[in-house]
Structure 1
Amino acid sequence: MAIELKMPALSPTMEEGTLAKWLVKEGDTVSSGDILAEIETDKATMEFETVDEGVVSKILVPEGTDGVTVGTPIALIGGEGEEAAPAPAKPAEPAPAPKAEAAAPAPTAPAPVETPAAPAQPAAPPKADGDRVKASPLARKLAQAQGIDLSTLQGSGPGGRIVRADLGKAAGGAAATQQQPQAAAPAPVAAPAAAAPAQPFSTDIPHETVKLSNMRKTIARRLSEAKREIPHIYLTVDVRLDALLKLRSELNAGLAGRKIKLSVNDLLIKALAVALEAVPECNVSFTPDQLIMYKRSDISVAVSIPGGLITPIVTDAAAKSVSKISQEITELAGRAKEGKLQPHEYQGGTASLSNMGMFGIKQFDAVINPPQAMILAVGAGEKRPWVDGDELTVATVMSITGSFDHRAIDGADGARLMKTLKELIESPLGLIA
């Protein structure tokens, strides 16, 4: 009997992906561990390997197909010499009922007595683990925003899991229900008019169109949600860099034999991690009913790659040497640009760092990367007038801005974190102690 291969969930939050390329064809024999296809998720293109053995009898989803939902059958594998599963037979037409020779006239029934209709029974809720409804994190978030009760939905994902598509069906069903007349119901409150569908874009300017990748779609959705739902508060400090640059020069001289070259960014990753441990009130995540307080600092570092942005994570950065951080981020950034990061290497993190100083950007406000509650935006170091005591001097100064989720982090705690960062950068020996 043919085995169905289904679209895999290559990350905890993946609900759909693009079947970018098949690496086998119908008739090929495959064994457990063979790579069958390349699947594009919202962050990377990953390889899909089989755990079954047999012959690829049918490819159900052609390569290049977008929006393939997790759990959708994409191919069939049969045993050696087994043919592809035939299409299900069309059900036979039912035979017509024989005509009666002489139908007797039906007696006239008395008019029924009108009785009140019994209330409709509610639909059975989807199966759940214990009392917890099975739903993806995105579906839970959208359901909360739209006021949809997940316990009333039937999931179409793997194992009956509720996914985003089920919420659209629920919204449509609710709209249809509201259109049914209700006896003796109070007049409904006028709802705001639905937004008009977006009109196709047209222009006379010479141009070309580029299809949006899954990554770009995800970036657009997550940034829109973050700016819409998270109340950002921005705190900026100017930091003198001269001591940090001097320490970096001395460390690089000592590490030359090991072929390690530290960047300012490596030292800032370490500084942010140490500052978060000193001010744990900022090393948190916000949820509707609780605050998650982390016991270590995992720093997500923004890396620009073709088609978008990805944030590989330096785990437990406060406990690592600066040279170790430098080696890790070099290796992670290299694999990120090749699309070879594993989900655990870019999903998670407790805070983020984005550095645009190499482009000459003096100062900017970064958008928080949920579910994190803060991100540090780093500008360029430049020569500026600086007052040292009562003397006016020239110093290398950098502006850094912290973006904080004001639901989770008070302004005073964010200010303490920025003050601690400034002290660590201007007296950097504490970073290597």
Structure 2
Amino acid sequence: MAEVIFMPRLSDTMEEGTVVKWHKKIGDKILEGDILAEIETDKAIQEFEAESNSTLLYIGIKEGETAPVNSLLAILGSENEDISSLLKENQTIIKKNNKKIFISPLAKKIAFEKGISLENIKGSGNNGRIIKKDIEKYNNHFHLSDDKITFKKVDHSNMRKIISKRLINSQMESPHYSLFLEIKMENLMKLRESLNEMNYLKKISFNDLIVKASAIAIKANPKINSSWTEKSILYHKNINIGIAVALEDGLIVPVISNVDEKSLRKISLEIKEKVIKAKEKKLQSNELEGSTFTVSNLGMFGIDSFTSIINQPNSCILSVGRIKKKPIINNDKIVIGHTTKFTLTCDHRMIDGAVGSDYLKCLKHLLQEPLKILL
């Protein structure tokens, strides 16, 4: 009996998906566990597997097309099975996903090369066919006033849409405030240098040390590890830290679970692995869920300090600037030293100023006496 396959919800925030690639074509035999397609969500590109032996009878969403969750993705069944009744039942969805766009081969080639979405172009050829001049007209920069200011329109990606929605919700739902602290980094720099002299294949980064120290400081200040619900505050037992990673389309936050229980080396390797997977859009949905705290580090981009919007449902996010060489006071003398500015942004519904301050003081103590991070 034929089975209708709908666009799956592959992450907790997914509202629509884009079919990146079909691994099977209509008429192909499919075995349980075969990869049917690759689907891009708001967070990653994930493989979609077949759950039974069958034949691919119909494709509802073609490569490159985007459709909401639960749209008709495909129909599987027995070879030569009549699926006309299923198609009729899902006709509304099919019409939406199979919207015909008439375009000349040359215009299609130019649009592809320039990354232009055809859905926004009205064709001037016969029967509304899109031709070369329609693409060129659309691609021309728009001119504003006598100054001839130009801009280029780029449609929102799935990731950018979800980022926008979540950040607006976070900013509106939770009362944010931020605490700032500058920390001397000399001892942490010396520890990192000593660790990396041990000739391990992968170097320990400052971010690795900061993530580990953050988890230890959270364990000493457990109120930080919390989430707000309508009826209660949830205090999490596991310390799962999200690591903000910048991608071309936006920001993604892979999660390192149980950070306080892992060695520094294990944390370092896991962060590197997930950053690579994030940039290749190969993270699985379970690798992006369950964070209880987030670290966002822009030090590598030369930023001195910044504030971040809380990654819901976390109660806090730690923003980390660059290590800066500057004059500092040491034993009442002015010397050249290195400092980093840390910003803790908190949800005031859960985290009062004193709680956030205690956390930052603990973090400062760990980073200025960093051997305690390893014990």
For normalisation by structure 1, the TM-score amounts to 0.70
Deviation at 1:9, TM superposition (A): 2.1
Q: Could you give the per-residue CA deviations for residues 248-303 of structure 1, whole angstroms, max 9, x where no partner exists?
A: 1111112x1x3131111110000100000000111111112110101121111111
Tell me which residue corresponds to 1:431: 373
Number of the residue aligned with 2:72: 73
8 Å CA contact 1:53, 1:79 repeated in 2: no
1:401 match: secondary structure: strand
Q: Aligned pair 1:39/2:39, yes or no? A: yes
- Say whether the 8 Å CA contact 2:142–2:150 is kept in structure 1: no
2:156 aligns to what? 212
Matched, 1:236 2:235: no
How far is 1:80 from its partner?
A: 2.5
Counterpart of 2:212 in 1: which secondary structure? helix
Deviation at 1:83, TM superposition (A): 4.1
Distance (whole Å) between structure 1 residues aligned to residue 88 and residue 255 of structure 2: 49
What are structure 2's unaligned runs of at least 5 residues?
A: 90-140
Residues 1:10 and 2:29 are matched in the alignment: no
Please give the alpha-carbon distance, in whole angstroms, between the structure 1 residues aligned to 2:18 and 2:79.
Answer: 29
1:175-214 alignment to 2 at 5 Å? 203-204=143-144, 205-214=149-158
Deviation at 1:13, TM superposition (A): 4.1
Counterpart CA distance in 2 for 1:12 and 1:305 is 20
Instruction: Say whether the 8 Å CA contact 2:255–2:287 is kept in structure 1.
Output: yes
Deviations 1:167-186, CA, capped at 9 Å, x for gaps: xxxxxxxxxxxxxxxxxxxx
Cα pair distance change 1:260/1:64, threshold 3 Å: closer
Counterpart amino acid of residue 55 in structure 1: T
Instruction: Please report the RMSD computed on the Cα atoms of aligned residues, expressed in angstroms.
Output: 1.9
Supply the AA of the counterpart residue of 1:8: P
1:275 aligns with 2:204: no
Distance 1:208 1:13 in 2: 29
Residue 357 of structure 2 is matched in structure 1 by 415
Report the Cα distance in structure 1 between the residues aligned to 2:220 and 2:372, rounded to whole angstroms: 12
Work out the CA distance in 2 between the residues paired with 1:11 and 1:226: 18
3-state SS in 1 of match to 2:341 = strand
* Structure 1 unpaired stretches of 5+: 90-200
Partner of 2:190: 246
Offset of residue 61 of structure 1: 2.8
Higher helix share: 2
What are the superposed Cα offsets for residues 162-210 of structure 1, whole Å, 9 maximum, x if unpaired? xxxxxxxxxxxxxxxxxxxxxxxxxxxxxxxxxxxxxxx9654333322
Structure 2 counterpart of 1:335, from 277, 283, 288: 277
1:392 and 2:334 equivalent?
Answer: yes
Q: Helix, strand or coil for the counterpart of 1:353?
A: strand
How far did 1:323 drift? Answer: 1.3
Contact 2:243 2:296 (C-alpha < 8 Å) held by counterparts:
yes
Deviates more, 1:78-87 or 1:417-426: 78-87
Partners of 2:73 and 2:363 lie apart in 1 by: 51
The answer to whether the 8 A contact 2:39-2:48 is kept is yes
Residues paired across the two proteins, number: 319
Give per-residue Cα distances to partners, 1:70-124, cap 9 Å, x unaligned: 3x332212212324435659xxxxxxxxxxxxxxxxxxxxxxxxxxxxxxxxxxx
Q: Using the alignment, how far apart are the partners of 1:77 and 1:281 within structure 2?
A: 50
2:242 to 300, 304, 316: 300
Rg larger in structure: 1
Per-residue deviation at 1:16? 3.0
Q: How far apart are the structure 2 equivalents of 1:229 and 1:16?
A: 24
Is contact 2:13-2:42 (8 Å) kept?
Answer: no
The counterpart of 1:288, out of the listed 211, 217, 230, is 230
CA contact (8 A) 1:57 1:83 kept: no
Give yes or no for contact 2:5–2:74 (8 Å, CA) kept in 1: yes
Aligned equivalent of 2:260: 318
Determine the structure 2 residue equivalent to 1:265. 207
Q: Given that residues 364 and 377 in structure 1 are in contact (C-alpha distance below 8 angstroms), is that contact kept between their aligned partners in structure 2? A: yes
Aligned partner (choices 296, 309, 330) of residue 367 of structure 1 = 309
DSSP-derived class of the 1:419 partner: helix
Letter in 1 for 2:320: V
Output the TM-score relative to the length of structure 2. 0.81
